[in-house]
């Protein structure tokens, strides 16, 4: 008998703005990744956790030896729990939760290979999703697909947003073509329509995660990152993505309204490598948005654009450059558990 998939049981992935039970995060620990920036990264993760905890419960996972430090730095509004970790990107190593609309909760435990086997070891991170789902005592579905949560975004009404650079990358699923990947996403996330963007940001270690370039704001509305400097490699990349969004139709047949969000004005570099800074890499919480600031001329403009797009939510900006030094943003370090 074929193994059951979420769609068989009436499960689907809800939109990120649906009510949350809590947010899951993981404490920075890979010294080879962070180097001299580890302490600053921990301070930034703690600030994000505290900001989110103003809106919903937060659990910070940490290696047993670091639980006490995580608890002290995050404060009393954030729960801490020991769990073995290699790294700290809960969006990508944690479970993708699914609901059935009738009070049921389940989780998808994707195969995790550290963004195309870029970082070793990753054995503990490959087990995080399963361990969290076991702790919650909810059904676990394990598709034959390497995928990170940051590479997909959904509208909760059947539409999935992703990028070709990431999902079609041979370092993830060399044996699967676009049709096979779409079939698995239909069965495991309950989606029916796909909006494929092209490339992600220039020099993004994730091979083009969509959460750095675009996200749904509500059904029929997408926020997309733009670049107005023709000399920047991102200008052509983001122009192509914008054109694709304007031609797309969602699962309900609607054309998409696109809200444009500029990149930070100033490019930042670490060890000669450009950092993939993006304001769209934010977390949608219960009643709030926690978004990055970069000590940049466009910080206030980005805050205003996001605030207008989410009038019912209070927007909080948290300095995120120490997080970007590790290769990701606020959305990358968080994973929402929807309220069933």
Strand-pair partners of 252: none
DSSP 4-36: P-GGGGT-BPPPTTS-EEEEEEE----HHHHGG
Contact assessment for residue 50 and residue 79, using Cβ atoms and an 8 Å cutoff: no
Is residue 23 annotated as part of the catalytic site, yes or no?
no
Contact assessment for residue 181 and residue 168, using Cβ atoms and an 8 Å cutoff: yes
Calpha distance 135→31 (Å, rounded): 28
DSSP 92-134: HHS-EEEE-SSS-EEEE--B--HHHHTSS--TTHHHHHHHHHH
Calpha distance 240→251 (Å, rounded): 22
Out of 23, 74, 166, 332, the active site residue is 332
Contact assessment for residue 297 and residue 257, using Cβ atoms and an 8 Å cutoff: no
Closest CA to 256 of 313, 212, 193, 302: 193
The label of the residue with tokens 């466009």 reads: 298
Residues counted in the chain: 340
Residue ranges in 137-276 assigned as alpha helix (H): 164-167, 170-173, 178-189, 233-247
Calpha distance 335→333 (Å, rounded): 7
Q: How many helices (H) and strands (E) does the chain have?
A: 12, 18
Calpha distance 56→53 (Å, rounded): 5
Closest CA to 147 of 180, 120, 121: 180
Catalytic positions, please? 332
């Amino acid at each position: 008998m074929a193994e059951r998939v979420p769609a068989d049981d009436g499960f689907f992935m809800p939109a990120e703005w649906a009510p949350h039970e809590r947010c899951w995060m993981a404490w920075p620990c890979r010294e080879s990744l962070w180097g001299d920036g580890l302490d600053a990264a921990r301070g930034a993760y703690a600030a994000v956790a505290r900001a989110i905890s103003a809106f919903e419960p937060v659990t910070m996972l940490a290696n047993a030896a670091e639980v006490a430090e995580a608890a002290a730095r995050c404060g009393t509004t954030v729960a801490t729990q020991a769990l073995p970790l290699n790294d700290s990107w809960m969006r990508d190593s944690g479970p993708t939760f699914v609901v059935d609309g009738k009070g049921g909760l389940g989780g998808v435990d994707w195969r995790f290979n550290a963004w195309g086997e870029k970082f070793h070891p990753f054995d503990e991170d490959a087990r995080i999703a399963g361990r969290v789902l076991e702790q919650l005592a909810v059904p676990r579905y394990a598709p034959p697909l390497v995928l990170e949560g940051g590479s997909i975004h959904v509208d909760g009404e059947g539409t999935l947003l992703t990028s070709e650079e990431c999902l079609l990358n041979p370092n993830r699923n060399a044996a699967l073509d676009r049709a096979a990947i779409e079939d698995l996403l239909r069965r495991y996330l309950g989606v029916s329509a796909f909006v494929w963007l092209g490339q992600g940001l220039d020099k993004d270690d994730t091979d083009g995660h969509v959460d750095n370039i675009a996200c749904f704001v509500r059904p029929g509305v997408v926020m997309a990152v733009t670049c107005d400097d023709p000399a920047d490699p991102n200008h052509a990349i983001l122009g192509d993505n914008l054109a694709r969004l304007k031609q797309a139709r969602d699962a309900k047949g609607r054309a998409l309204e696109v809200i444009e969000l500029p990149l930070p004005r100033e490019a930042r570099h670490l060890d000669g490598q450009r950092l993939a800074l993006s304001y769209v890499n934010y977390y949608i919480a219960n009643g709030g948005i926690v978004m990055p600031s970069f000590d940049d001329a466009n910080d206030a403009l980005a805050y205003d654009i996001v605030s207008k797009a989410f009038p019912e939510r209070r927007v909080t900006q948290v300095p995120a450059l120490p997080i970007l030094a590790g290769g990701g943003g606020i959305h990358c370090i968080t994973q929402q558990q929807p309220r069933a």
